[in-house]
Amino acid sequence: MQLTEHLKQHFDDHLRTTERTVAKILPDLEKAIQLCHETVTQRRRILVCGNGGSASDAQHFVAELVGRFEREREPLAAVALSTDTSILTAVGNDYGFDHVFSRQVAALGQTGDVLIGISTSGNSPNVLRAMQQAHDNDMRVIALTGRDGGQMAQGLSGQDVLLCVPDQRTMRIQEMHILLLHLICEGIDAQLLGEPK
């Protein structure tokens, strides 16, 4: 396959994944936006966690909330749990890597806060533990996953939201995750500021 054809195939695959994702999760995406909007307007926090590329997505999303997305507004309370290397290394060393997010949720999470857990497989042990701790702290959870949703989909309560990208390929799932996070930012801003002109 020539390079041009190979690249075009990737774009075609991306578009197909986008179409399948829209068909599957649009109502749940609206629920996630509403949940995040309620959380920030009640002066509660959004905690976000993930590993690797999902950690980068968590940090990116939090930067859009605390800074701004596309329009000026007040900063919104959000924390990426993958950013404090002292906490990550201390907890990882003393308790094990599976606890690096749940210990932070135990310390920071309060009733009315939201945890966004990101895992393309839906099976990351440290994200699963963070979800369990969020429920213990009377928090709601938004799970961004792929494939069949994995164990994360099974660990959700009726108050939680599942955003599961219907694809098997990690890169396609990650592409959809950043789009979904941008749409959550846009949805929050639209409710806070009105529809963009």
pLDDT of residue 196: 76
Taking alpha carbons only, the member of 79, 41, 1, 60 closest to residue 189 is 41
Q: Please tell me whether 56 is known to bind a ligand.
A: no
pLDDT at 154 exceeding the cut of 90: yes
Residue 84 pLDDT grade (very low, low, confident, very high; cuts 50, 70, 90): very high
Q: Taking residues 179-193, report their average pLDDT.
A: 96
CA atoms within 13 A on the CB side of 50: 27
Q: Please tell me whether 51 is known to bind a ligand.
A: yes
Q: Please tell me whether 149 is known to bind a ligand.
A: no
Q: What percent of the chain has pLDDT over 90?
A: 97
Q: Please tell me whether 52 is known to bind a ligand.
A: yes
Q: Please tell me whether 60 is known to bind a ligand.
A: yes
Which amino acid makes up residue 66? Answer: V
pLDDT at 195 exceeding the cut of 90: no
Q: Taking residues 60-72, report their average pLDDT.
A: 97
Reading the block at residue 37, the tokens are 């909007």
Reading the block at residue 102, the tokens are 């749940």
Taking alpha carbons only, the member of 109, 118, 31, 39 closest to residue 76 is 39
Per the prediction, the chain carries an average pLDDT of 96
Residue with tokens 């990351």: 124
Q: Please tell me whether 189 is known to bind a ligand.
A: no
pLDDT at 20 exceeding the cut of 90: yes
pLDDT of residue 77: 97
**Domain spanning 3-193: CATH superfamily:** Glucose-6-phosphate isomerase like protein; domain 1 (3.40.50.10490)
pLDDT at 1 exceeding the cut of 80: no
Element (H, E) at 34: helix 3-41
Q: Taking residues 106-133, report their average pLDDT.
A: 98
Residue with tokens 């429920």: 135
Q: What percent of the chain has pLDDT over 70?
A: 99
Q: Please tell me whether 120 is known to bind a ligand.
A: yes
Q: Please tell me whether 124 is known to bind a ligand.
A: yes
Helices of type H across 67-169 = 85-94, 102-108, 125-136, 150-154
Q: Please tell me whether 93 is known to bind a ligand.
A: yes
Helix, strand, or coil (residue 8): helix
Predicted TM-score (pTM) of this structure: 0.96
Residue extents of the structural domains in the chain: 3-193
Q: Do 142 and 114 meet the contact criterion of CB atoms below 8 Å apart?
A: yes
CB atoms under 10 Å from CB of 195, counted, come to: 8
